[in-house]
Structure 1
Amino acid sequence: MMRAAALSGFGPPEVLRETDVEEPHAGSGQVRVRVRAAGVLPFDVRVRGGWTPPFIKREFPLVLGNEFAGVVDETGEGVTSFTAGEEVLGYGVLGGYAEYVVVPAEQLVRKPAAMPWEVAAGFSGNGQGAHMALSTTGVHEGDTVLVNAAAGGFGTFSVQLALAWGAGTVIGTASERNHDHLRALGAVPVTYGEGLVERVRAVAPDGVDAALDAAGPEALRASVELVKDRDRVVTMVATEEAAELGLRDVGGARSAERLAELVELYERGKVTVHLREVYPLERAADAHRDVESGHGRGKVVLSIA
C-alpha cells in the first residue's frame, strides 16, 4: 500500500483526502517513479468537481495529479531509456498525488540537477500548455502578445515563454496586487475588468498581434476585439465562447520532446516556475481551494517527500 490524496466521490475540496491505495508496478514499456512533488492544475480541480472526459474512469478511490517529479524506482520490460535512481519529471492523466506513479517511459524527461523538486513538479502542465497555446497563435519576432490572467501558473509561464521566443512586448492582465509580479517577469501589467480594451490600447497603440486567455469569456471577447487575426486568439478556459466566436482550438499534444525543449530553456534561464504555495500531501484539499480561488500568483504544488 502507499499514501495518496484520492477522491472518495465527486464534489467540493473535502472529498479529496489522504488515504492508502494499492501500490502500482511498472508494466511493459512503463516506468514507476517515487514521487517527490506533484503539481496541482485546474484540470485536477475540474475532475474533482465531476467533469470526467471519456479517458477517465469514474471509479473510486480516484487519485488525481497529472504532473510530477521524482526518482525512477522501477522499470518495465523493454525500457532502456531510464534506470533506477535517475531524477525525472513527467506527466500523465491521473495518479500524481501519490508516493508512486506509473507512466509510459516516453512521458518522462531527466530533471536538471539544480532544478528544485517543487519547480520540477509544476513544470510540465503549465509549461506544455503555454507551449501549445503560443505555438497555435504563433509568436514572431517583435510581436505584441496579450496574456489574460497572466499572474497565475499558466499565465506566468506564458509570459516568460513568449518573451523567450522573441515577443517584443507582452501585456499581462491581472489584479493590481499582482502588477509588480508581472513587471518582474518583463510584462506590461494591465488591470482586468470593465474598460480592458481601452486600457490595452493605451499601452499598445500599434495593436496586439496575438492573445492567450486563461481568464474567461469577458477577457476572450476583449482579446477578439483587440487582435486583427482571430486565428491568433486562443483560450484555455472559455471553450463554449470560443466556438461561438469561431476561434481555433489550442493545437498539439503533450510530449517528452516538448517538455525537453522547455527544460532546456529553463537551463538557459529563460523560463521557470514561480511557486505560489507548497502544501503537504495531507492538505491536498487546501491546495485545490487555493487553485480554484483564481486570485493567486504562480504555481501550487504538493510535497510528497
Structure 2
Amino acid sequence: MLAGRLNVYAGSFALEEIAEPHAGPGQVRIAVKAAGVCLSDVHLIQGIIKPFLLRGDTVTLGHETAGVIDEIGDGVTGLSVGQRVLLQAGEERDGTVFTRGVDYDGGWAEHAVATADTVVPLPDSLPFEQACFIPDAVSTPWAAITATAAVAPARPVGVWGVGGLGAHAVQLLRTVGAAPIIAIDPLPAARERALDFGADLALDPADPIFGTRIADATRGRGLAYAFDFAGVAPVREQAAKSLAREGQLILAGLTDQPLTITDGTHFSYLKQQIRGHYGSSPEHVVELLDLVAAGRVEFSRSVSATLPLAEAAEAVRRLDAKEGNPIRLVLVP
C-alpha cells in the first residue's frame, strides 16, 4: 500500500509502497478515507519535533484519521466490518501515552491499524473529511478551554494565532459563552476568518495601540484567559501583559523557546497564572461528536482543501508556506 513515511534520523519524507498491516488481537484495521495534515506533521518533517517513543527510525505520519473498519482482530467486540469510525490521536500503554503518527504508524496511508479502545464510531451525517481532524485540531482547543482553563461564561478571552487550532478555539469559545472573544493574528485573512468564526474583535499584534484596544474591549480589566495557539515566544509575552488580575495564560502552541515574563513582581502581585496544555483526552473527542450530533457545532468551513495521498508532500509545503491561509488540508487515499 502507499504510505507517507518519515525517516526521523535522516529527516527525509517520501511516499513509499509498504506492506499492508493487519489487525492483531485486540485491534482493528481501517481503510483510511481521510487524514488531516497538521502543523506538527510539518514540524516532525523539519526535525523541530522528535518522537520520544518510536521504535526504529521510520514512521508513517498522520495522527488525524477517519475511515471504515475492514478487518477485526481476535477478541474485539462491539465493532463491525463496514463501520464508519475515527481514530483517537494516541493510546496509553502501561501509563505512557504514545502518539499516532509520531510514536507509531499513523493514517497517511491506505490502511491503518488501531487498538479497539481508540476507535470511535461516527454518525452517518458527519463526512470523513470533517471527522478526521476532530482529534487534535478540534479536541486540543476544546480540552484547553474546558479542562485546563475551565473557561467561565461572560469572561474576556484572547486567542493568539487563528490557524488550525485557534480558528476552532474561537468557534468553541463562543459555544461555551466566553465574551468578548478577541482574536490576535498578524495575517489580515486570519483576522477576517476569526470574525467569521465568532470573534467579537480581531487585532493585529503589531498594532501600536494594542494594549489600549485590549483595555477598551475589556472595560479596563484585561483578559481572564489568554490562549497561545501560535507557539511563538513574543506572543506569550504579549499575552501575559494582557491578563487581568488572576488571569490565566494557557500555552497550547508548542515551542522549545524560553518563556519570559518581563515584570515578574507585577505578575505575582496580580496572582496571574501560566498553565501548560498538551493535546486532549478520549472523552473530549466523544464530547465533540455529541455536539456535532446535536447540531451545536459543525466543521465544513474548516476543510480548506482535499488532496490525494500521493500529494502529501505538496500538502506539507502548502501548510508550511500558509498558502491560502488553510485551517486544515485533508489527504484522501
TM-score (norm 2): 0.82
The residue correspondences of 1:123-134 to structure 2 (distance < 5 A) are: 123-134=134-145
Pair 226,232 (structure 1): closer, same or farther in 2 beyond 3 Å: same
Letter of the aligned partner of 2:118 in structure 1? Answer: Q
Q: CA deviation at 1:303?
A: 1.1
What displacement does 1:191 show? Answer: 1.6
Q: Counterparts of 1:243 and 1:266 in 2: how far apart (Å)? A: 39
Match of 1:301 in 2: 330
1:149-207 superposed Cα distances (whole Å, 9 cap, x missing partner): 12x11011111111112212211112222333212211021123354434333333342
Q: What is the aligned partner in structure 2 of residue 100 from structure 1?
A: 111
1:242-263 Cα deviation digits (max 9, x unpaired): 48788322167431x2211011
Alignment-derived partner of residue 238 in structure 1: 255
**Amino acid across the alignment from 2:3:** A
Output the CA distance in 2 between the equivalents of 1:233 and 1:241: 15
Cα RMSD after superposing both structures: 2.3
- Contact 1:146/1:211 (CA < 8 Å) preserved in 2? yes
Question: Do 2:252 and 2:277's aligned partners in 1 also have CA atoms closer than 8 Å?
Answer: yes
Residues 246-305 of structure 1: CA deviation (Å, up to 9, x unaligned) = 8322167431x221101111223333331122221111111112222247141121111x
Letter in 1 for 2:149: T
1:148, 1:11 → 2: CA distance? 33
Partner of 1:192: 205
Aligned-partner SS, 1:241: coil
Matches within 5 A, 1:199-278: 199-205=213-219, 206-215=221-230, 216-228=232-244, 229=246, 231-238=248-255, 240-242=257-259, 247-250=274-277, 253-255=280-282, 257-273=283-299, 274-278=302-306
Letter in 1 for 2:137: N
Alignment of 1:66-77 (within 5 A): 66-77=63-74
Contact 2:67–2:86 (CA under 8 A) maintained in structure 1 = yes
Structure 1 counterpart SS, 2:51: coil
1:139 aligned onto 2:151: yes
1:142 partner amino acid: A
The number of residues matched between the two structures is 298
- What letter is aligned with 1:139? V
More relative contact order, 1 or 2 (CA 8 Å, 6+ apart): 1
Of 43-52 and 212-221, more deviation after overlay is shown by 43-52
Q: Secondary structure at the match of 1:102?
A: strand
Q: Which amino acid aligns with 1:122?
A: F
Higher Cα radius of gyration: 2
- Is the Cα–Cα contact under 8 Å of residues 287 and 300 in structure 1 kept in the other structure? yes
The alpha carbon displacement at 1:214 in A equals: 1.7
Tell me, in whole angstroms, the C-alpha distance in 1 between the residues paired with 2:79 and 2:21. 18
Cα distance between partner residues in 2 of 1:287 and 1:231:
35
Shift of 1:68: 0.6
- Using the TM superposition, give the Cα deviation of residue 117 of structure 1 relative to its aligned residue in structure 2, in angstroms: 1.5
Cα distance in structure 1, aligned partners of 2:218 and 2:10 = 43
* CA contact 2:139–2:279 (8 Å) conserved in 1: no
Q: What letter is aligned with 2:319? A: V
**Alignment correspondent of 2:188:** 176
Residue equivalent to 1:81: 78
8 Å Cα contact 1:126/1:153 also seen in 2: yes
Which secondary structure does the structure 1 equivalent of 2:183 belong to? strand
Report SS of the residue matched to 1:38.
Answer: strand
Normalising to structure 1: TM-score of the pair?
0.89
Does the C-alpha gap of structure 1 residues 24 and 54 become closer, same or farther in structure 2, counting only changes over 3 Å? same
Aligned to 2:34: 37
Distance between the aligned counterparts of 2:183 and 2:54, measured in 1? 34
The alpha-carbon distance between structure 1 residues 279 and 202, as it changes in their structure 2 partners (threshold 3 A), is farther
Q: Distance in 2 between matches of 1:189 and 1:297?
A: 18
**Rounded Cα–Cα distance in structure 2 between residues aligned with 1:63 and 1:243:** 36
Q: 1:29 & 1:271 partners in 2: Cα distance? A: 32
Deviation at 1:118, TM superposition (A): 0.9
Amino acid at match of 2:86: L
Which runs of 5 or more residues in structure 1 are unaligned? none
Percent identity between the two aligned chains: 29
Find the counterpart in structure 2 of residue 55 from structure 1.
53
Q: Which has the higher helix share?
A: 1
1:79 maps to a residue whose letter is V
Using a 3 Å threshold, how does the CA distance of structure 1 residues 100 and 149 change in structure 2: closer, same or farther?
Answer: same
